[in-house]
Every structure is written in structure tokens, then in C-alpha cells.
Amino acid sequence: MAGVLVIGGVIAPAVLSGGGGGGTGTSSAGPKYKITVPQSLVGGKYSLTKDVSQQMGAQVPSDGVNAHDVRAAGGQYTGGTKSLVVSGIYGSMDDPEEGIDHMINGMTTSPGVEVAVADKEFTPSGGGEPLKCGVDVKQVAGQKVTVPFCAWGTSSTTGTVAQTDAAELEKAPDSVDLQDLADEVSKIRSEVQVPDGG
């Protein structure tokens, strides 16, 4: 199960009762990763404004239906008019695909959120593992805010990036270039998801 934090007007998925990872793989398969919160992302394009790991961690049980020995990490970033919330959990995920579906479902079924563009799989243009990306519209203080997002996962992580643009808060959801977002989130994934030496 998953819920949503609204941080600085940006929707951030947050596991509330034992969510999990997403992508491909089986229980305990593949290398182990953890989620980190770098000071900047994408070559300095985005700068960290708030580490929300503690806030997320307070809502994430260490064990749940699909995840075990879980820890949370996340941060809010800004770059120009855009804001990002990067959030993730890491530990041991029993079913990565089920976990990522729970995470996305938690975002899209929260009060005040409607699915504008259903999530689908995108392969980054530069190669790499696919991401699931879509667009939600969130009611924030009476205003509709367009929130594109991408999510990924492994047998040890789930990560999501949700974006808003202050210059285009009510941007037409179907005009969002999700392939472009997937390409950028792929870079973010490579920066925040690092090998876990444990």
C-alpha cells in the first residue's frame, strides 16, 4: 500500500504499509541497492532544497506485505521553475512488479488526485531498464496542478520522481512528453540508486 505526501505542492509517493519495488526480477534477485539523497542531480540542473527522508521514514514500517527491512529516503529539488520530489524505499522486495503497482496506485487513488494519463512503460532513449510513467492532476488549494511522474524498482529498491513546473502548473496533461521525462529520470535513477555494500 502507498500514500502521498504533498511537499511544496509536489506529490510525493510514500509507502505507508509495506509497499515494495517495481520493475523486473524476483525476490532477492540481482544486486542490492539503496536510495540516497545527493546534493544535486543531473549535472547540477537540480539542487536539493529539503531532505524528506526522516518525514518519509516515520510513515514507512520496516516490514510489510511485500517488503522487509525497509528504509526510506527522499528529497525535494528545484531547478529553474521546476520542482522534483524524489522518493524511494530500499530493503528486500518480494515482488517488484506488484510493489511498483501499489506505489503508483497509492498516488493515483489519493483524495484530490485524478489520473490524467495512465502510466505505461518507457525505455530510456539512452538504454537502461524501463520506467513506468504517467500524469496525475492534483487539486492544491483550489488549483489543478499537473504532476507527471516516473517510477522504477528492483528486488531491493523502489524509486519515484514526481515533477511540477511553476511556469506551467496547469499544463495540459496529454501534452507532457513522458519519453523526455523518462530519459531524465533514468539519469536521476543512476544518481540516487547506488550499490548497497551491506
CA–CA dist 115, 108 (Å, integer): 6
| Interval 13-48: pLDDT, tens | 444 333 333 333 334 556 799 999 999 999 999 999
What does pTM read for this prediction? 0.85
Span between the terminal Cα atoms of the chain, in Å: 26
- Specify the pLDDT at position 67: 76
Residue type for position 86: V
Contact 151, 177 (CB under 8 A): no
150 within some domain: yes
Q: Is position 181 within any domain?
A: yes
**CATH number, domain at 70?**
3.40.1000
Q: Which of 15-24, 131-140, 144-153 has the lowest mean pLDDT?
A: 15-24
Residue closest to 73 by CA, chosen among 22, 12, 30, 155: 12
Across residues 74-99, what is the average pLDDT? 90
The answer, yes or no, to whether residue 53 has pLDDT greater than 90, is yes
Q: How much is the pLDDT for 14?
A: 45
Distance (Å, whole) CA 163 – CA 18: 24
pLDDT above 60 for 153: yes
Does residue 198 lie within any of the structural domains? no
Looking at the structure of the chain, the number of domains it has is 1
Which residues face 86 on adjacent strands?
75, 161
Among residues 22, 20, 21, 7, which one has the least CA distance to residue 55? Answer: 7
Give the pLDDT confidence score for residue 198 in this predicted structure: 54
Give the separation between CA 153 and CA 72, rounded to whole angstroms: 14
Question: Rounded CA gap, 110 and 126, in Å?
Answer: 33
User: Whole domain around residue 30: which residue ranges?
Assistant: 2-193
Q: Which of 78, 110, 87, 107 is nearest to 161 (CA)?
A: 87
> Best-predicted range by mean pLDDT among 84-93, 117-126, 151-160?
117-126
